[in-house]
Amino acid sequence: MYRKGKLYFRYGTMGSAKTALLLTTAYNFEERHMDYMCMKPVVDTRESSNVIRSRIGIERECRWIYANTNLYELARELYKEKGRLVDWFLIDEAQFLTAAQVDQLSRVVDDFGSNVICYGLRTDFKTNLFEGSRRLFEIADTIDEIKSTCNCGHKTIVNARIDSDGNIVEEGAQVEIGGDDRYVAVCRRCWRRKRIEQAARTALPLELEEADI
């Protein structure tokens, strides 16, 4: 039997309920007795349990994806294990997949006819694409934006990293372990305005010094 699957990318900013949507989809699959599996790239190996958890309080067990996990091989092993193909793979934090892993997922879709839905961020705190997201934009069959709203009413675009004083941070590693509370999703206008305000604040003492001279 010929099966036709699709590779989906559903992207949004932090706090756009991507994980809640994934878990809702999993719940709907269960109700309809559909076969699915949740997976997630592991960034923090100190995490104790294999679960995808949403802030609204629901969770599902998931299989961890390591940087060296070959997802095509994994799908093949699962087939051998279960004796049938997994119909739906639901992947959280897909921005952390490597480009090679996204390619492997596309082959799972094309060779096995499974469906793969990837949920993830578009860009990092410097507004640059993540590796996994870039590859998904390049080759996914279906791309949907999960929208959320900035305090000002515009659509959120930027995952701004903030320090303990609430200032926007623009330097540092792309991924910082365990710092989810250090991000705030804002629109592009607010991101720019806040950085201009910050620059003006820090420049002020210098200007005063010059005026003194």
Q: Which residues are catalytic?
A: 93
Judged by beta carbon, residue 6 or residue 147, the one nearer Zn ion is 147
CA distances from 153 to 73, 157, 187, 196 (A): 45, 12, 9, 20
Name 86's Cβ contacts closer than 8 Å, sequence gap at least 6: 35, 36, 37, 75, 78, 79, 114
Q: Which is nearer to Zn ion, 55 or 154 (CB)?
A: 154
- Residues between 173 and 212 that touch Zn ion (CB under 5 A): 187, 190
Q: Which residue do the tokens 């996204």 mark?
A: 102
The least CB distance from residue 43 to Zn ion, in Å, is: 28
- ∠ CA 10-190-204, nearest 5°, is 145
Could you say whether residue 108 binds Zn ion (CB under 5 A)?
A: no
The sign of the CA dihedral 17, 18, 23, 28 is positive
Nearer to Zn ion, 22 or 190 (CB): 190
**Site residues (CB under 5 A) for Zn ion, limited to 144-163:** 150, 152, 154
Compute the least distance from the CB of residue 193 to Zn ion, in Å.
Answer: 8
> Which positions lie near Zn ion, rule CB under 5 A?
150, 152, 154, 187, 190
